[in-house]
Amino acid sequence: MRHRFLKTFMSLALICSCNLFAQDSFVNKEPDTLFFDDFSGNSLDREKWNVIGPDFWVNNEQQIYVDSTATIFIAKGDSAKGAENALVLKAHYSPDYITFRGNQFDFISGRIDTRDKVMFTYGTASARMKLPEGNGYWPAFWALGGGNWPETGEIDIMEYVGETDWIGVALHGPGYSGETPLVNKYFFPENEDVTSWHIYSVDWSPQGFDFKVDGRLIYRVTKPMVEHYGKWAYDNPKFLILNFALGGAYPFKTNGVRKPYNGLPEATVELIKEGKAEVLIDWVLISKKDN
């Protein structure tokens, strides 16, 4: 099994650009590692991850999540696209898919989380990811508390809605949910975009959050900033989520597309039909510095 994380990532002085992480380098897990998965097995580790099924649907998303090796699988070799191994969340065109509740969808995709398996309070959560080009895709890497939303608090470490030159980060909680004011877009430097491998991370402490891309600070939120809008909801345990949504509220707000699907244009539907709708995750890490 690979052992691939390190002091190098935690020592930000050694990180000057994402190119330092472009190679699938070998690094050692440190004693402060709370959780690590490099997807080196032949299938998703169900002791670490839950798989979300078709009983879950939100945000007017145009897909339904299914527990299937078609939508959640491990890629190796060339299929991992520059990683040694990678978890793949893949969306498919599956017309007239009917859920057990009788709801109909034309797309299926994958969503996993660590709820009740790995919960953490404070620390750094990070993932190395490669995202697909396609207007209206909505993959995300985020953390959520175990209670009712938004009182439990939501940390959006990375959201992407199909414009390849930027990703978004945000906080949602009581008094600042939905159209939250605690949000920021990060625009990649010239000649970089989401289709390359990048490390998306957040440093979470009792004082606030530092959101980062490839170790580069892109947004800082302090506790007083949060409490200016509402209640601080970030002293409780959170679990990680990785999902690949299609269309829905956030993409529609960005692209205004109504047909053929809400937030999902025909050109992207064709990409899905061609099998090009894949989110790759090289590894996921939760770490916490010793005091």
Q: State pLDDT tens for residues 27-41.
A: 445 559 999 999 999
Greater confidence (9 vs 180) lies with: 180
Contact of 201 with 125, CB cutoff 8 Å: yes
Cα separation, 168 vs 218, in Å, equals 10
Confidence of residue 208 (pLDDT cuts 50, 70, 90): very high
Extents of the domains making up the chain: 7-287
Place of tokens 């898919």: 97
Say what the pLDDT of residue 155 is: 99
* pLDDT of amino acid 13: 31
The reported pTM is 0.90
pLDDT of amino acid 276: 97
Checking if the pLDDT of 124 tops 50, the result is yes
- Mean pLDDT value of segment 88-104: 93
pLDDT score recorded for residue 101? 86
pLDDT of residue 54: 87
Residue range 44-51: average pLDDT? 98
The average confidence (pLDDT) of the chain is: 91
CA distances for 166 relative to 88, 110, 145, angstroms: 21, 22, 26
Strand 137-145 to 50-51 pairing: unpaired
Bridge partner list, 143:
155, 240
Mean pLDDT across 135-146: 98
pLDDT at 25 over 70: no
- pLDDT(157) > 50: yes
CATH architecture for segment(s) 7-287: Sandwich (2.60)
> What is the band of 20 on the pLDDT scale with cuts at 50, 70, 90?
very low
**Which regions of 148-273 does DSSP assign to beta strands (E)?**
154-159, 166-172, 183-187, 198-205, 208-213, 216-222, 238-246
Q: Tell me: the pLDDT tens digits for 220-257?
A: 999 999 999 999 999 999 999 999 999 999 999 999 99
